[in-house]
């Protein structure tokens, strides 16, 4: 099988490209300065890891030996002053070694940019790198993309947070510049297909989705897909890229070092001037993914409780638009968590008995008046309140109604996850789990997780935060106490006579 080298494999695109290459039948080698960062990836056991630094030609020679196609996915975005020189130097070294190693094809993902226009430092660096690689001697395909639509993409996350958190905003005049965004799914398809471009083709290709939109239109379309009210956006001519990036840094969790170059690049209109790539990588049967569909996919999943830092709601795992566990903490949208753990002096069986019996006649083990009042309020606004109770007094199954919750997942003896069906400005889950079940003192872990919808969702969470100690802290203490009593009762019942 052909061998593909992927640099930047722990980054946004690289981490999603590796499984696509494996599915396409490639053997994959990844160059990693910190191999331990590769280990948590689900594909880690299917690839060869070459430990090394892309700035070292000796490391590059080992990594590029015998490679058929090499993906250059390195860019010093957010690296601070001097990033452009580092980009140039690293690209030159890579190009030289790729030529010496007779690599069959180099593929680089660059930035879509206008011709004959003074570019932002970010886009200018991308342009310089593509020229270095194209002049390097190895057959090279450069794919130029603008905003990439997918959870974890820095440009997408910036747009997500701005739209969700600001129902009214003042923006620079470039908010009406035209942009041709593209779904991450289609970017990956082009990257895999670029490996099969004939050896005598060495050039750059513009790649974009099927729609050209202004940044204002993208925010409005995002709001519509996300179920938010139409945003009120005013444009002013005096907001410089630097001021705008500082403003973005205040409003969003995207690090300023990343937000600044992204904002600076928005002063340009970035629209594909040709679509020659289709001659070598034809559109899929259903065509390229449109903006609304790409956003829908990106919003289908939020972070999954089962995988360290990533929540899954429902959908096929591992889709390119999904967040990955190793994405930055600020990727994947806002997720607000109340996480509590405590050791309990009882058996894991007794603790699970109390957890599975929660709700209905047993109640919620904390501030009963508060739960009742919240239930009444929910019913006034058309929600289920607490009236539904539970199907069985002691047992739960996936899909069961439980007061205003729904059982989303259950692993008997270990974990119960409930999804809220009450009226909320967002989505909420409650997960109760038994950890260290073989211990004489198992750990009871309780997590309340909220994915806010827009600014009202953010305000709702912070408004109720002062009561978390009463509600969630009390729930944990009382469940632990009830489990200890349950353990004593079980031990007494098991004694002979």
pLDDT confidence of 178, banded at 50, 70, 90?
very high
CATH topology of domain 3-300: Rossmann fold (3.40.50)
pLDDT at 32 over 90: yes
DSSP string, 407-428: EEEEETTTEEEEEE-S--SEEE
Least confident among 70-84, 338-352, 457-471: 70-84
Residues 400-444: pLDDT tens digits? Answer: 988 888 998 899 999 999 998 888 888 889 999 999 988 889 999
Least confident among 32-41, 234-243, 339-348: 234-243
Least confident among 187-191, 198-202, 456-460: 456-460
Q: Which residue has the higher pLDDT, 185 or 425?
A: 185
pLDDT at 326 over 80: no
Q: Which residue has the higher pLDDT, 143 or 158?
A: 143
DSSP string, 285-331: TT-SPPHHHHHHHHHH----TTBTTB---SS-TT-TTS--TTS-TTT
Average pLDDT over residues 261-270: 82
Residues 73-85: pLDDT tens digits? Answer: 998 665 566 788 8
Close Cβ partners of 360 (under 8 Å, ≥ 6 residues apart): 389, 390, 393, 402, 403
Q: Which residues pair with 434 in a beta bridge?
A: 444
Q: Which residue has the higher pLDDT, 157 or 143?
A: 143
pLDDT at 138 over 60: yes
Residues 369-397: pLDDT tens digits? Answer: 766 677 777 666 667 766 677 888 889 99
Average pLDDT over residues 343-347: 94
Average pLDDT over residues 162-175: 84
What's the pTM value of the predicted model, to 2 decimals? 0.74
Least confident among 254-258, 275-279, 401-405, 449-453: 254-258
CA nearest to 265, candidates 299, 215, 310: 215
Ranges of each domain in the chain: 3-300, 336-494
pLDDT confidence of 304, banded at 50, 70, 90?
very low
Cα–Cα distance for residue pair 90/93, rounded to 1 Å: 5
**366, two tokens:** 């904390």
| pLDDT, averaged across the chain | 85
pLDDT at 226 over 60: yes
Three-class DSSP category at 343: strand
The reported pLDDT for the residue numbered 312 is 32
The reported pLDDT for the residue numbered 77 is 62
The reported pLDDT for the residue numbered 328 is 58
Cα–Cα distance for residue pair 102/97, rounded to 1 Å: 8
Burial (0-12, 13-18, 19+ Cβ within 10 Å), 336: middle
Residues 236-259: pLDDT tens digits? Answer: 776 666 667 667 767 777 777 777
Least confident among 187-191, 192-196, 297-301, 388-392: 297-301
pLDDT confidence of 495, banded at 50, 70, 90?
low
- State which CATH number among 3.30.530.20, 3.30.470.10, 3.30.70.870, 3.90.1150.10 fits the domain covering 336-494: 3.30.530.20
């Amino acid at each position: 099988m052909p061998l593909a080298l992927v640099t930047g494999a722990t980054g946004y695109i690289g981490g999603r490209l590796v499984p696509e290459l494996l599915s396409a039948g490639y053997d994959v080698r990844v160059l990693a300065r910190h191999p331990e960062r590769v280990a948590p990836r689900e594909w880690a056991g299917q690839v060869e890891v070459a430990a090394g630094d892309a700035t070292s030609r000796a490391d590059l020679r080992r990594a590029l030996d015998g490679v058929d196609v090499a993906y250059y996915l390195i860019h010093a975005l957010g690296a601070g002053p001097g990033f452009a020189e580092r980009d140039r130097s690293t690209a030159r070294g890579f190009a030289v070694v790729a030529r010496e190693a007779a690599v069959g094809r180099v593929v680089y993902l660059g930035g879509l940019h206008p011709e004959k226009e003074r570019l932002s430092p970010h886009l200018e660096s991308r342009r310089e790198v593509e020229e270095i690689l194209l002049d390097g001697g190895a057959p090279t395909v450069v794919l130029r993309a603008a905003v990439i639509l997918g959870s974890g993409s820095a440009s997408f996350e910036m747009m997500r947070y701005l739209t969700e958190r600001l129902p009214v905003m003042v923006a620079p005049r470039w908010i009406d510049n035209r942009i041709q965004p593209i779904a991450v799914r289609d970017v990956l398809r082009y990257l895999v297909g670029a490996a099969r471009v004939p050896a005598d083709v060495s050039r750059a290709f513009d790649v974009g989705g099927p729609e050209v939109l202004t940044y204002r239109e993208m925010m409005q379309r995002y709001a519509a897909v996300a179920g938010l009210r139409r945003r009120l956006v005013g444009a002013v001519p005096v907001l410089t890229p630097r001021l705008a990036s500082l403003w973005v840094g205040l409003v969003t969790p995207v690090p300023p070092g990343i937000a600044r170059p992204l904002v600076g690049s928005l002063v340009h209109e970035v629209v594909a001037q040709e679509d020659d790539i289709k001659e070598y990588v034809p559109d899929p049967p259903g065509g390229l993914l449109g903006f609304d569909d790409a956003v829908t996919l990106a919003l289908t999943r939020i972070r999954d409780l089962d995988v360290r830092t990533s929540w899954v709601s429902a959908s096929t795992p591992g889709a390119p638009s999904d967040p990955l566990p190793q994405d930055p903490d600020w990727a994947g949208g806002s997720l607000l968590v109340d996480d509590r753990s405590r050791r309990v002096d009882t058996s894991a069986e007794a603790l699970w008995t109390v957890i599975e019996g929660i709700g209905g006649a047993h109640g919620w083990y904390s501030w009963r008046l508060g739960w009742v009042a919240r239930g009444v309020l929910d019913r006034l606004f058309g929600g289920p309140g607490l009236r539904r109770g539970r199907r069985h007094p002691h047992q739960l199954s996936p899909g069961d109604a439980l007061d205003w919750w729904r059982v989303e997942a259950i692993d008997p003896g270990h974990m119960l996850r409930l999804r809220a069906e009450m009226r909320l400005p967002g989505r909420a889950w409650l997960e109760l789990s038994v950890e260290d079940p073989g211990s004489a003192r198992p750990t009871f872990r309780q997590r309340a997780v909220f994915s806010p919808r827009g600014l009202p969702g953010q305000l709702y969470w912070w408004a109720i935060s002062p009561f978390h100690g009463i509600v969630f802290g009390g729930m944990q203490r009382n469940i632990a106490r009830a489990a200890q009593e349950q353990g004593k009762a079980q031990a007494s019942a098991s004694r002979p006579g």
